[in-house]
Amino acid sequence: MATEAVLVEEHPDVHHQRKIAMWTFLGSEVLLFGSLISTFLLFRNRTLGGPTAEDVFDIPFTSISSFVLLMSSLTMVLAHHSATRRDWRQMRVWLFATAFLGLTFLAGQVFEFTVFVEDGLTVTTSPFGSSFFLLTGFHGAHVAVGVMMLLSLAFMSMSGKLHPERGMNVELVGLYWHFVDIVWIAIFTIVYLLQV
Amino acid sequence: MATLTHDAPPTSTAHEPGKRGLWSWITTTDHKRIGILYGLSSLFFFLVGGVEALFIRLQLAAPNGEVLSADAYNQMFTMHGTTMVFLVVMPAAGAFANYLLPLQLGARDVAFPRLNAFSFWVFFFGGVFLYASFFLGGGADGGWFGYAPLSTQIDEVVRMDYWALGLLVLGVASVASSINFVTTAFTMRAPGMTLMRMPVFSWMVVVISFLLLFSLPMVTVGLVQVFFDRNLGTLFYDAASGGEPILWQHLFWLFGHPEVYVLILPAMGIVSEVLPTFSRKPLFGRSFVIFSGIAIGFMGFGVWAHHMFTSGLGPVAEAAFALTTMFIAVPTGVKIFNWLGTMWGGSLRFTTAMLFSIGFIAMFVIGGLSGVTHSIVPADSQQHDSYYVVAHFHYVLFGGAIFGIFSGIYFWWPKLTGKLLDERIGKWHFWLMLLGFNLAFAPMHFLGLNGMPRRTYRYNEGLGLDLWNLVSTIGAFLIAVSMLVFLWNWWRTARKGTRASGDPWDGRTLEWSIASPTPEYNFARIPTVEAEDDFWHRKYGEDEEGNAVPIATAEEVSDDPEPPAGLHLPSPSYYPALTGAGIFVTLMGLVYLPWGLIPAAVGALVILWGLFGWSMEPIVKEHH
């Protein structure tokens, strides 16, 4: 049987389908984080006598982990650049670097959360706590999914199973990763910097 | 123009052995089969939701009804509303969109066939999950918009956990579908089909896809908050601890009002296809219909708080939302005149599909006008939570959406099955449904204005409510009779219905240029589009006065009857259904925290397995 398939007459954008789909999905995600941030802004001062933003936030620490996440966007760009040059070995190096930076950020978030809990701020302490952990938790989950996709790409590439023309490819994961990064810039500004 | 170069055996068809049976339906990635699955599920839930409505009407037929307990009544109206919105009208729109979008665009499938199957299975398992709660502690009972704190009370078992998670996952299915439809419409149109040449129904699918994409995430956040309030002890909606129940109202209606247009715009699209066909005239002001659809889409995001006029927003917000609500009636009203202008001077054929479309216009006008009365804040304060509101939204959602959907069913049935539904029985169906519908819901205007509150399971004698409640119940049962007539029509047509040609109605759009039922490959040759209503213009020219003159028969300008050579359609895949099943297991586990974390983790592994298998397998397999 033939191995090639031509499904449709070609529309000029037919090769960009997955990219259009990813952009559409990210557009939807904007509203998700928008609603989470709105919830946080509504509850930012409802601390019920529990810890306030000033009490718990450690701006220097979070600045460093934010810097780490921002740098991961740089390595993501380099991974994509290597992929376009079809330099798969270098692409894997940058993918692992991006995943490592993402994991570092997540480790920072886990550490930060444990400190907050020790300071007496949990999801049940106050609406402030509920909305803070929901927002940053959703973002952390997005980073975790991104790390999984990065590692999948890297390992699939190592075993020669990465087919750029189907499923996820470096460009799509890159779009997602940059989006999650940009959301963190908004969160870091609104939730951390503006509250202390 | 064919770019197909590879030799291959003749393309298999839906009738070929090996493509039958349950497994072929579970693994299908064919947009037509997925459309049919959506349609059947929607019809099934329509019957279930209808039975719930009959229980409600039986309870209210006479004062001090004894049919249902207060608790059972709460479950009935909650699940009736939830079912009709999320499990009937939305999947019905999904059925039409799936089946017709590729056909109207001149494509062989949607952009992502397996994502499409995934959407269906997530929807299917979401519906099963919602209804599972009936057997595991009772159905949801907080109303279809689940206001906090009704939805966050945790002293009564798990009902609203099922509701919150069920709606959440139905939203995931809709977002996946929307991404698919948008990508399909933007990248898979046949050569020559510009955006403005795209059929109006396809346009409405694009508009509702964007509405869903941007509105569902907001209610998703709300549902997560409800679930966490119930299970993790967060304080989002706990007023005693600084939470804000009104936040839920905002998040819900920020989704809920665009959702109203998600429910009605597909029906408007259907009507915009049916009326021109049976008036033998192009849609009057076609681009205006498209742009007013888009305008409704944009403005739909700016009117949500008119659902909340009695919650104390303050005069500024109330005035602003009163104005936007009045404004959104403009693009809606424009369409009414477009449809009337389409019929004006046309040579009308009153088929069942046409009757349902005309019924749609008439009923929707009534519902639209009573809707405008809600924009007047003082009047709305009187009408709020009364049967007047119930009358209003049934006129737009039943008289509007459901009539439009039935119009589409009668119109496209031959394209799905190759047989024409019986017109005589169809007209019985229409007139019985129209009569039953008006008997059931017109009296609710009077009941509401006389002060009968909605969601109250009993009323006393002597309040002047007895007569109209009885009339309404009679109407509800007449609707049930009309549905039996429809089922009878279906059964009879399947046994001895008339065979339909590819173009039984003298149609206008590309789906009528191919055989009935649709071949598995849709188009043997991908058409080149040269005009709006391209198929019509292949058949008819114009004389000097602008009258239509036949220039070719439908057979001459239809698609090749021979299947194309070397064509590979997306292969079946069980991963979408597997992933959907994994989501179901995860949700079941999440309801029963903390020990439910074990099944939830198992479900999560199944999801991962499904997603990885899905992304690793080729879209078109080399061997069958």
Using the beta-carbon criterion (under 8 Å), do B236 and A131 form an inter-chain contact? Answer: yes
Closest partner CB to B615 (pick from A10, A13, A167): A167
Using the beta-carbon criterion (under 8 Å), do A9 and B191 form an inter-chain contact? Answer: yes
CATH number for the region B26-561 comes to 1.20.210.10
pLDDT 10s digits, B80-102 = 999 999 999 999 999 999 999 99
Band (B545; pLDDT cuts 50, 70, 90): confident
Identify the bridge partners of residue B499 per DSSP, sorted by sequence position: B419
Please, which residues have CB within 8 angstroms of residue B556's CB and are 6 or more apart in sequence? none
Using the beta-carbon criterion (under 8 Å), do A17 and B112 form an inter-chain contact? Answer: yes
Whole-angstrom Cα distance, residue B438 to residue B421? Answer: 25
pLDDT 10s digits, B127-142 = 999 999 999 988 999 8
The residue type of B389 is V
CATH number for the region A22-195 comes to 1.20.120.80
At B456 the three-state DSSP class reads: coil
In chain A, what are the domain boundaries? 22-195
Residues in chain B closer than 8 A to A124 (CB atoms)? 232-235
Using the beta-carbon criterion (under 8 Å), do B221 and A2 form an inter-chain contact? Answer: no
Closest partner CB to A130 (pick from B108, B236, B614): B236
Band (B21; pLDDT cuts 50, 70, 90): confident
pLDDT 10s digits, B314-324 = 999 999 999 99
> How close B107 gets to chain A, by Cα (Å)?
6
* Residue B13 confidence (pLDDT) above 60: no
* Residue B406 confidence (pLDDT) above 80: yes
The residue type of A159 is S
Look at residue B621 in the predicted model and tell me its pLDDT: 64
Best residue in B615, B619, B624 for a mutation probing chain A (most A CBs within 10 Å): B615
pLDDT 10s digits, A84-107 = 888 889 999 999 999 999 999 999
Using the beta-carbon criterion (under 8 Å), do A168 and B615 form an inter-chain contact? Answer: yes
3-state secondary structure B56-69: HHHHHCCCCCCCCC
Rounded mean pLDDT, B363-372: 94
Using the beta-carbon criterion (under 8 Å), do B236 and A31 form an inter-chain contact? Answer: no
pLDDT 10s digits, B294-332 = 999 999 999 999 999 999 999 999 999 999 999 999 999
Write out the DSSP string of B416-434: HHSEEPPHHHHHHHHHHHH
Residues in chain B closer than 8 A to A27 (CB atoms)? 213-214
Whole-angstrom Cα distance, residue B348 to residue A69? Answer: 65
Whole-angstrom Cα distance, residue B342 to residue B280? Answer: 9
Q: Which of B329, B323, B288, B328 is nearest to B309 (CA)?
A: B323
Report the mean per-residue pLDDT for chain B: 92
DSSP H helical segments within B83-158, as ranges? 90-105, 113-132
Using the beta-carbon criterion (under 8 Å), do A134 and B615 form an inter-chain contact? Answer: no
Residues in chain A closer than 8 A to B233 (CB atoms)? 123-124
Q: What are the phi and psi torsion angles at B30 (to 5°)? A: -80, 125
Q: Which of residues A37 and B569 earns the better pLDDT score?
A: A37
Band (B156; pLDDT cuts 50, 70, 90): low
Best residue in A23, A45, A130 for a mutation probing chain B (most B CBs within 10 Å): A130
Using the beta-carbon criterion (under 8 Å), do B4 and A27 form an inter-chain contact? Answer: no
Predicted complex ipTM exceeds 0.85 = yes
Residues in chain B closer than 8 A to A121 (CB atoms)? none
In chain B, what are the domain boundaries? 26-561, 580-624
Token pair 């470096």 in the structure block, residue: A170
8 A C-beta contact, residue B260 and residue B304:
no
Q: What are the phi and psi torsion angles at A65 (to 5°)? A: -70, -30
> How close A176 gets to chain B, by Cα (Å)?
15
Rounded mean pLDDT, A30-36: 97
Closest partner CB to A21 (pick from B9, B179, B221): B179
Which region among B238-242, B354-358, B481-485 has the lowest average model confidence (pLDDT)?
A: B238-242
Identify the bridge partners of residue B548 per DSSP, sorted by sequence position: B542
Residues in chain A closer than 8 A to B186 (CB atoms)? 13, 20
Residue of B nearest to A46 (CA): B242
The residue type of B513 is S
Q: Which of B288, B260, B514 is nearest to B412 (CA)?
A: B514
Using the beta-carbon criterion (under 8 Å), do A2 and B7 form an inter-chain contact? Answer: yes
- Cis, bond preceding B149 (omega within 30 deg of 0): yes
Band (B155; pLDDT cuts 50, 70, 90): low
Residues in chain A closer than 8 A to B236 (CB atoms)? 39, 43, 127, 130-131
> pTM for the whole thing?
0.93
Using the beta-carbon criterion (under 8 Å), do B108 and A32 form an inter-chain contact? Answer: no
- In B268-283, which positions are buried (b, 16+ CB within 10 angstroms) versus exposed (e)? bbbbbbbbbbbbbbbb
Token pair 């974390």 in the structure block, residue: B597
Rounded mean pLDDT, A116-139: 96
Using the beta-carbon criterion (under 8 Å), do A48 and B191 form an inter-chain contact? Answer: no
**Cα Dmax for chain B:** 80
* Residue B152 confidence (pLDDT) above 90: no
Residues in chain A closer than 8 A to B5 (CB atoms)? 6
